[in-house]
Structure 1
Amino acid sequence: MMRVLVLGADGFVGLRVARALAASDWAVPVVGCRRANAACRLERIVLDATDRADLRQAVIGMDAIVNCVAGDARTIVANADALFHAAADRRIVHMSSMAVYGSAIGMVAEDAPLLPDTNAYAVARVEAEHLAEAAHNVVMLRPGCIYGAGSAQWSRRIADLLTLRRIGDLGANGDGGSNVVHIDDVVAAILSALRTPEVRGPVNLAMPDAPDWNGYFLAFARALGEVPVRRVPGWQLTLDTKGLAIPLKLAEKLTGRLPPPIPPSLARLWRQDIRLDPTRASVALGVQWTPLAVGLAEAAAWLRPRSDA
């Protein structure tokens, strides 16, 4: 049985990976998190994933590591520095991001130049990938926008914005590529990467023929029963992102969830005509992509109990 240390296992992706490994007949997950949790039934190591000494101790006896640590730019870089120095001789599946492509447009394959020109998060993700060069057996997964049950950003937040009629048909402001990928497909890619050590380097993760953002919003609205969607004029989106972003962000912190802000970076993403080429994930990792309608129906079902309460 393969012993796999899952870092960031309290997060959206990491938790799903740990559960999938526990349900397999070939792996034993060891959950690596910052805090102890008595409710967790999996073997658990409490550690600081940005500390080299902690990680050096944690990887003893591990066959592989799945790195799902997220957070701010400082955390991402510090975690990568610690991990790739402490476990350079282990099989590592590292969760990166499509953010490494920055403002690139068009169809983007894994050999495209890294372009950290959008924000500090992109800079950190690129630096983390450069630090991965210290390891010899690493695959870096570059997912697009991960949606599905449990996704706070690309399912819950989008559903809230659709319900409030703050997004819908954005016209030219929603013509960018969504590059959505279902959480189950991300988990499947991670598990496959653990079992195919000959696959190394970067791998894009986005469903083939992902819709543009207008198409994603419309399909999700249908799954939620929030149709017809309204046409949102450009001036309204500009007001929302520039005039209301800061006060809405403060209101979100005070209320816990609503109203969700639309930061300018998100509006830029909705316009960016970038399309991830998923060929390597399909061929080298054998990912079978979840149909959009199936994934959105699942996300809508996850959200429904909350909306009916």
Structure 2
Amino acid sequence: MPDSVDFSRKLVLVLGASGYIGSRVVAALSGSPIYRPVAASRRSDPGVDATKPDNVRKALRGVDYVVNCIAGSNQAMLRTTEVLCEAARASPPMRIIHLSSMAVYGAATGTVREDSAPVPPMSGYGQAKIDCERIVLGYVRDGGDAVVLRPSCVFGPASPQWTTRLARLLRAGRIGDLGSAGDGCCNLACIDDVVAAVMAALNAPDIVGSVFNVSSSVDLTWNEFLTAFAKALGATPVQRIAPRTLRMETKLLAPVRRIAGMALRSPMTEAITPSLAALWSQDIRIDCSRAQASLRLPRTPLERMIASAVQHERGLTQAMLS
């Protein structure tokens, strides 16, 4: 056993450790003098299945905290949350940090705080996140210690949904200035800020059962973000997308592109779904004042977020060409 291993550090079980957020949480824990990660991921270890009670009960033995970053299907998220909370009732960790999403607000508009009610229509994903939160808060009512974080659109180097996907579409000229269809509020959560919120929530006092919004951008429209991101990527001139073109993309071409995308990796097969287009026009502002007060949530400036993401994108391009 290496002498450098510090067993005085608190053990933190990270479920979904190979995912985008989970892998960054593991990296932050690894560099911490206080915590030591226990990475649990079915992708890296087929024997780790967080939907199976025996596996989770075994994984909980001896750990101090749990961070639930499980993604995947709606059923997988629900089952994992159920199994985790049931196992934790028998062997409670000091705290569970559960990653939810701004999707729980549905079609809400205006400023939304943690106590804002969801507004239909709800996506299947958003409803699953609501159901998962109910399970976690039920665990709290039974005497457990848990905290829920609701990140907005998680942006950063290699973010598959909000960085690499949008970069491909911008470079292909399929999105850009969307006109009135892009005037919705762009709620980006820098990955560094999300990880900082997780780390702070592990031992912050007086937050048992609390729910926190986590977002970084303020008063930013999708048009403003997409234009700035495109210019930083060198995807210029920034395309101006006509409303008719966007409607055709979402209503007619999206199903075809999704099928083609299963076989081909190309920006021309990237589907612009109706739900994505709806988000671009949704005037929803995520209020993070509670997280700023209780977790000292940092808010990385847009310029720094974009610069970091673009640097990573360029590194990937150079690696492919070399």
TM range (shorter): over 0.9
Using the alignment, how far apart are the partners of 1:167 and 1:235 within structure 2?
13
Name the counterpart of 1:107: 111
SS at match of 2:197: helix
1:264 aligns with 2:268: no
Greater mean deviation of Cα atoms: 269-278 or 223-232: 223-232
1:175 aligns with 2:183: yes
Are residues 19 and 219 of structure 1, via their aligned partners in 2, closer, same or farther at CA, if it must alter by over 3 Å? same
Cα distance, 1:36 vs structure 2: 4.6
* Deviation sequence 1:11-41 (CA, Å, 0-9, x none): 000001001101000001001112555xxxx
Task: Indicate which of 284, 295, 303 corresponds to 1:285.
Answer: 295
Using the alignment, how far apart are the partners of 1:169 and 1:307 within structure 2?
24
SS at match of 2:147: strand
Using the alignment, how far apart are the partners of 1:121 and 1:264 within structure 2?
14
1:241 aligns with 2:250: yes
Name the counterpart of 1:59: 60
Gaps of 5+ in 1: 38-44
* Deviation sequence 1:133-178 (CA, Å, 0-9, x none): 2322111110110011020111111111111111111111011111
SS at match of 2:98: strand
Cα distance, 1:115 vs structure 2: 4.1
Using the alignment, how far apart are the partners of 1:233 and 1:276 within structure 2?
28
Using the alignment, how far apart are the partners of 1:74 and 1:266 within structure 2?
22
- CA contact 1:169–1:231 (8 Å) conserved in 2: yes
SS at match of 1:31: strand
Cα distance, 1:281 vs structure 2: 1.5
Count of matched residue pairs: 302
1:196 aligns with 2:200: no
Name the counterpart of 1:47: 48
Name the counterpart of 1:79: 80
Using the alignment, how far apart are the partners of 1:161 and 1:107 within structure 2?
29
Name the counterpart of 1:213: 222
- CA contact 2:20–2:159 (8 Å) conserved in 1: yes
* Deviation sequence 1:241-288 (CA, Å, 0-9, x none): 111111211222112343211011100111111110011121110122
SS at match of 2:296: coil
- CA contact 1:85–1:134 (8 Å) conserved in 2: no
Name the counterpart of 2:311: 301
Cα distance, 1:51 vs structure 2: 1.8
- CA contact 1:196–1:285 (8 Å) conserved in 2: yes
Using the alignment, how far apart are the partners of 1:258 and 1:5 within structure 2?
36
How much is the aligned-residue C-alpha RMSD, in angstroms? 1.6
Cα distance, 1:306 vs structure 2: 3.4
Are residues 167 and 138 of structure 1, via their aligned partners in 2, closer, same or farther at CA, if it must alter by over 3 Å? same
Name the counterpart of 1:40: none
SS at match of 1:146: strand
Cα distance, 1:292 vs structure 2: 0.6
- CA contact 2:172–2:267 (8 Å) conserved in 1: no
* Deviation sequence 1:63-100 (CA, Å, 0-9, x none): 11000000111111111111111114320000000010
What residue identity is the alignment partner of 1:55?
V
Using the alignment, how far apart are the partners of 2:266 and 2:61 within structure 1?
40
SS at match of 1:244: helix
- CA contact 1:175–1:270 (8 Å) conserved in 2: yes
Name the counterpart of 2:137: 133
Cα distance, 1:2 vs structure 2: 1.1
* Deviation sequence 1:164-214 (CA, Å, 0-9, x none): 111111111011111101101100000000121422321001115151111
Are residues 77 and 47 of structure 1, via their aligned partners in 2, closer, same or farther at CA, if it must alter by over 3 Å? same
What residue identity is the alignment partner of 1:94?
H
Using the alignment, how far apart are the partners of 1:56 and 1:73 within structure 2?
22
Name the counterpart of 2:5: none
Using the alignment, how far apart are the partners of 2:176 and 2:129 within structure 1?
30
Gaps of 5+ in 2: 1-8
Using the alignment, how far apart are the partners of 1:84 and 1:197 within structure 2?
21
The percent of aligned pairs where both chains have the same amino acid is 41
Using the alignment, how far apart are the partners of 1:208 and 1:258 within structure 2?
26
Name the counterpart of 1:16: 24
